[in-house]
Amino acid sequence: MKLFDVYPVNDITITKAEGSHVWDDQGNQYLDLYGGHAVISIGHTHPHYVQRLTDQLNKVGFYSNSIHIPLQQQLAEKLGKVSGKEDYQLFLVNSGAEANENALKLASFYNGKKKIIAFKKAFHGRTSLAVAATDNPKIVAPVNETDNVVFLPWEDLAALEAAFDKYEVSSVIIEGIQGVGGINVASAAFLQKIRSLCDQHNAVFIADSVQCGYGRSGKFFSHDHAGVNADIYTMAKGMGNGFPIGGIIIAPKFQPSYGMLGTTFGGNHLACAAALAVLEVIEKDHLIANAENVGNYLMDELRKFPEVKEVRGKGLMIGIELPEELAHVRKELLFKYRIFTGEAKPNVIRLLPSLALTKDQADQFLTAFKQALKPVHA
């Protein structure tokens, strides 16, 4: 049997990882500024994380949600404390797409309406409703197509107001910082307008925090920069530092009922142990403040390069937009300087490192980036 070939891959095999570094099967060390799509939040193989998972695996790895799992309540309490959303409710799943599916479904259960507002360049996942709300027709199969999703221009207040006048809106789903779309930061005014219109029309504000949440932006949720509370926050990626886990936190006005939502693997013992370890390290090592400080330093330095068209982002979620003639730089960073970064089409380098990234490691990247720009002037 062969693998179903849907991923273009770099010819690199990683066999070891620690902190912000990974090593390939040839023994070469790389600086990891991508963390496998923003997943590595506290650093690879963090000792506390490894110990938490090992201890739990030696007790019980899995049982279903048909019994009490005290780790789930412990996770809810810790998440409420660290995020500042202590009066919210937690439902645990396995991935970001599943989190968004459940958020959209819960919104519709709540108000009985169908219309979903999403935005141009949005990415919310690859399953049913999540992919229907993703602005990429290439990954939307015919069976996923629905007229229940309306895509609006990013940051267009007039279009947003018009949509609420035209449709019976169930929910608005928005990334506080678009990831796949190119690190586009939603303004405070835009998020505040969404909050206001949702309140006026009994619609649900869904803050997709799968990539931009969990401290990456310098606040726990990137939407917090706007000073608004969403009704539902969706989470995954950095939540488990590599262990598959996702979740939604749900405002107090939503009333649960048996059978409303469900999952087999969501909230299992190992997933909760991983997520608790992540929050414990974030809290103990002040990683949200570190993300803000190191991120601000990186962005300030990157803006000094005349070759860079624009630097966007908050904290350690950074997009570096380059002109077309510098499209080679990301590959050069990887294969010449051994630094992993991400991309967004057409020519945006995405930085999504561990929240524990140091200033020295940021400087290592900046030095390599400067060198990688040089051949253009040769």
Question: Would you state the torsion angle of the CA atoms of residues 46, 47, 49, 52, taken in this order, to the nearest 10 degrees?
Answer: 170
Where does the pLDDT of residue 276 fall: very low under 50, low under 70, confident under 90, or very high at 90 and above?
A: very high
Please say whether the beta carbons of 105 and 275 come within 8 A: no
pLDDT (tens digit, 9 = 90+) per residue, 281-314? 999 999 999 999 999 999 999 999 999 999 999 9
In whole angstroms, what is the distance from residue 291 CA to residue 281 CA? 13
Summarize the confidence of residues 154-174 as an average pLDDT. 98
pLDDT (tens digit, 9 = 90+) per residue, 2-36? 999 999 999 999 999 999 999 999 999 999 999 99
Summarize the confidence of residues 123-137 as an average pLDDT. 97
Look at residues 156, 147, 154 and name the one whose alpha carbon lies nearest to residue 114: 147
pLDDT at 345: 87
pLDDT at 378 over 70: no
pLDDT at 333 over 50: yes
Where does the pLDDT of residue 374 fall: very low under 50, low under 70, confident under 90, or very high at 90 and above?
A: confident
Largest Cα–Cα separation, the chain: 67
Look at residues 167, 230, 174, 226 and name the one whose alpha carbon lies nearest to residue 201: 167
pLDDT (tens digit, 9 = 90+) per residue, 40-72? 999 999 999 999 999 999 999 999 999 999 999
Summarize the confidence of residues 328-356 as an average pLDDT. 96
Percent of the chain with pLDDT over 90: 98
In whole angstroms, what is the distance from residue 315 CA to residue 310 CA? 16
pLDDT at 6: 95
Percent of the chain with pLDDT over 70: 99
pLDDT (tens digit, 9 = 90+) per residue, 214-253? 999 999 999 999 999 999 999 999 999 999 999 999 999 9
pLDDT at 377 over 80: no
Residue type, 253: K
pLDDT at 375: 62
